[in-house]
Amino acid sequence: MHTLIAEGLRKRYGDLSALDGFDLHVPAGVIHGLLGPNGAGKTTAVKALATLIDVDEGTASVAGFDVRTQAARVRRSIGLVGQNAAVDEILSGRQNLVMFGRLYGLNRVDAESRAGELLGTFGLTEAADRAVKTYSGGMRRRLDIAAGLILTPAVLFLDEPTTGLDPRGRNEVWAGIRETAARGTTVLLTTQYLDEADQLAAGITVVDHGRVIAEGTPEKLKREVGGDRVTITVRADIEDAARRLGGEIDEENQTITIEVTSGLMQIVRTLDDLGIVVEDLQLRHPTLDEAFLALTSKEPSR
């Protein structure tokens, strides 16, 4: 039983195909990542599933309801957290949640108690009565997510929830997302960061040009993408060192990138054996570009 189903969605904006036969199947109760570069069609897909836009072709259902013919019932089953923090800046966090609760049909008493609960869950109790414009980016996002959870929806859509946040804000939002999923809500999360999808999602769908180009568990995708990368700056002749290490040269930064296949120590030993003097060595996760290269053998469109 899938909570989110999209089949053959197509949406054109003039000459641009935002969705070009987009398919998605997400089981209930998991965090699912929708991964892709800017302009891949992630937001359009979310908007179509959240009943905000009409698609040209294809069908989609959310929590068992058709997004086209049963839009009102879909809206009772979802929370949408878009790319901007869509909360009222002048009102306090509590006033925002009470207002959204009332709009969802709760009476005043229920709206207030639900607001109190959500403020607690998202660590906003202390700031509850301050104007939202005094909140940090992470706090705003968490309030934004709380506003999407008032009716404990079957599905929560999160469109790039950590874009523009500092590491602390990002960690706070990640905790909130995990908490949401732990309470049984299916989360569809769009992101440009492989790392983020890997951290949070049980399944990942990779999109580009409005189409799915890869799908699977983070483990499966990471196997295809390969392991972490080591970026090395050497003092010696870079071309010679790259050839001997089997790495790729980044011309711009004059560094060598090597995929870590059998452990970092192995690479360090090889460097030592070859007598290459290293000035700098950094271990990092594959970037989205590298993932795309591995998954599709082509660069992502930007």
* Cβ 271 to another protein shortest distance, Å: 49
Q: Which of 105, 184, 246, 263 binds another protein (CB under 8 A)?
A: 105
User: Is the separation of the CB atoms in 204 and 215 below 8 Å?
Assistant: yes
Which is nearer to another protein, 28 or 91 (by Cβ)? 91
Q: Is 53 one of the binding residues for another protein (CB under 8 A)?
A: yes
Q: Which of 28, 52, 249, 281 binds another protein (CB under 8 A)?
A: 52
Q: In sequence order, what are the residues at sequence separation of 6 or more whose Cβ sits closer than 8 angstroms to the Cβ of residue 86?
A: 144, 147
Tokens found for residue 146: 């709380």
* Cβ 177 to another protein shortest distance, Å: 18
Among the candidate windows 25-33, 34-42, 97-105, 180-188, which touches another protein by CB under 8 A?
A: 97-105
* Cβ 18 to another protein shortest distance, Å: 11
* Cβ 90 to another protein shortest distance, Å: 5
Alpha carbon separation from 65 to 34, 36, 70, 71, 228 (Å, rounded): 21, 26, 6, 8, 41
Size of the site for another protein (CB under 8 A): 31
Q: Is 75 one of the binding residues for another protein (CB under 8 A)?
A: yes
Among the candidate windows 70-78, 161-169, 241-249, 281-289, which touches another protein by CB under 8 A?
A: 70-78
Among the candidate windows 69-77, 118-126, 209-217, 274-282, which touches another protein by CB under 8 A?
A: 69-77
Q: Which of 1, 15, 72, 167 binds another protein (CB under 8 A)?
A: 72
Residue found under tokens 């000459």? 15
Q: Which of 30, 86, 264, 268 binds another protein (CB under 8 A)?
A: 86
Which is nearer to another protein, 53 or 236 (by Cβ)? 53
Q: Is 99 one of the binding residues for another protein (CB under 8 A)?
A: yes
Alpha carbon separation from 198 to 176, 177, 191, 201 (Å, rounded): 16, 13, 11, 6
Q: Which of 36, 44, 45, 100 binds another protein (CB under 8 A)?
A: 100
d(CA 213, CA 273): 40
* 127 to 156: interface string for another protein, x by CB under 8 A: ----x---------------x---------
Which residues make up the interface to another protein (CB under 8 A)? 47, 50-54, 72, 75-76, 78-80, 82-88, 90-92, 95, 99-100, 102-105, 131, 147
